[in-house]
Amino acid sequence: MRAATLHIAGRATGRVVAHVVIYAAALLTIAPFVWMVLTSFKDIGEIYSYPPTWWPEEFTLDNYVATFQAAPFGRFYLNSLFVATTVTLGQLVTCSMAAYAFARMEFWGRDALFYLFLATMMVPFHVTMIPSFMILHWLGLIDTYGALIIPGLASAFGTFLLRQFFLSIPKELEEAAFLDGCGRFRVLWQIIVPLARPALATLAIFTFMGVFNDFIWALVVINSEDLYTVQLGLAIFRDRYSTEWGSLMAGSVVATLPILIVFFLAQKHFIQGIALSGLKD
């Protein structure tokens, strides 16, 4: 009896310790965010006081006002949203079409082409970066929205992700539609796309996040301040105002907010995307 009670008590203690450890780790992980958000609402005097304080003594929006006055963050924001939305919509259309061809149509060289697509996913972006820059340079598209948008309008990853999902949809559903005289485009649009919503959502979220958070490509192809994305704007701003922590924190909050909102609304899709692809960054 006593041994059993001790065992149970030991387990209970173990569970409590485990909870304390994992919650401490979780709080430590999100501490930089909390710090970022809270700092962005502090006044200058408090920001530069030492030892640092957590909770703002007085909430102020001064840092946000200063940030938006020092640099056109509103404009950067619209640029980022425009580019990320256009690329995401483009990929949903192009990758759906390509994935449907790979999943459902018979044509010469299909499997070889598909494996070629798969193989390109192993090539690091930095290998294709320089020639892609040159091609855009030859096309006269450097320092335009086109440079940010066009290379992202289709992707091997998106095609692969959607193809795998399309293959899991029973063919019978389409065959009935073919009997009714539907063409391939209508079948794709009216039968496959509605059924593939979870996969399309995962692709959309992944693409949007990737483009919105992209830094190196915008750094390489954009020069004019008018075309800066939020990330590029924040990095340049960081160079120029390297110790104005209040403004920098406000800028960082602005640069992370949309993705954080999408993440909390659609956590499942982020995690599915990761589990599916093992994709980094």
Partner 1 sequence: MPEVLTQQEVRPAAHIVRGEAAEEPPRPKRRPRLLRGQGPLALLFLSPTLVIVSVFILFPILFSFYLSFTQWNLFGGEPAFVGLDNYARMVDDAEFWQVFAHTGIYTAGTVPLNMALALAAAFFLNTKVIGKRFLRAAFFTPVVISAVAAAVVWRWVFDPNLGLANYALETLGLSAVNWSNSPTAAMVALIIVGVWKSFGVNMILFAAGLAGIPKHYYEAAEIDGANGWQRFWHITVPLLSPTTLFVLVLSIIGSFQVFDIVFVLTSGGPLGATKVLVFYLYEHAFKFFNMGYASAVAYVLFAVLLVLTLVQIRAFRDRGFKSAA
Instruction: Please report, as residue ranges, which positions from 163 to 222 form the binding site for partner 1 (by CB under 8 A).
Output: 171-172, 175-176, 178-179, 184, 209, 212-213, 215-216, 219-220
Nearer to partner 1, 41 or 251 (CB): 251
The reply to whether 240 sits near partner 1 by the rule CB under 8 A is no
Where does this chain touch partner 1 (CB under 8 A) — which range of 27-35, 60-68, 69-77, 190-198? 27-35
Candidates 3, 25, 45, 224: give the one binding partner 1 (CB under 8 A).
Answer: 25
Q: Which one of 55-63, 71-79, 107-115, 190-198 is the stretch in contact with partner 1 (CB under 8 A)?
A: 107-115
Distances (CA, A) of 79 to 72, 87, 95, 224: 11, 12, 24, 12
**Contact partners, residue 163, CB within 8 Å, separation at least 6:** 98, 99, 102, 103, 114
Among 35, 140, 167, 225, interactor with partner 1 by CB under 8 A = 35
Residues of span 144-163 touching partner 1 by CB under 8 A: 150-151, 153-156, 159
131 binds partner 1 (CB under 8 A): yes
Q: Which of 7, 137, 186, 197 binds partner 1 (CB under 8 A)?
A: 137
Residues numbered 53 to 92 that lie near partner 1 (CB under 8 A) are none
Binder among 12, 17, 20, 93 for partner 1 (CB under 8 A): 93
- In angstroms, the Cα distances linking 144 to 84, 220, 225 are 14, 12, 11
| Residue 43: both structure tokens together | 């006044």
**Tokens representing residue 186 in the block:** 């209508």
Kindly indicate which of the ranges 61-69, 71-79, 196-204, 232-240 contains the residues binding partner 1, using the contact rule CB under 8 A: 232-240
Kindly report the backbone phi and psi dihedral angles of residue 38, in degrees, each rounded to the nearest multiple of 5, phi listed first.
-65, -40
Binding residues for partner 1, total number by CB under 8 A: 103
Which CB atom, from 65 or from 265, has the smaller least distance to partner 1? 265
Residue of the chain from 7, 110, 186, 197 that contacts partner 1 (CB under 8 A)? 110
Angle between helices 197-213 and 267-277 (to 10 degrees): 90
| DSSP string over 67-116 | HHHHS-HHHHHHHHHHHHHHHHHHHHHHHHHHHHHHHH---TTHHHHHHH
Q: How far apart are CA 67 and CA 194, in angstroms?
A: 43
Q: What is the DSSP string of 127-168?
A: HHHHHHHHHHHHTT-TTSHHHHHGGGS--HHHHHHHHHHHHT
Q: Whose structure tokens read 């539609």? A: 177
Closest CB 60 distance from partner 1, rounded Å: 18
How far, in Å, CA of 66 to CA of 249, rounded? Answer: 11
Measured from the CB atom, the residue of 35 and 59 that comes closer to partner 1 is: 35
For residue 172 the two structure tokens come to 């019978």
CB of 201 to partner 1, least distance (A): 15
Please identify, using beta-carbon distances, which residue of 1 and 122 lies nearer to partner 1: 122
The answer to whether residue 101 forms part of the interface with partner 1 (CB under 8 A) is yes
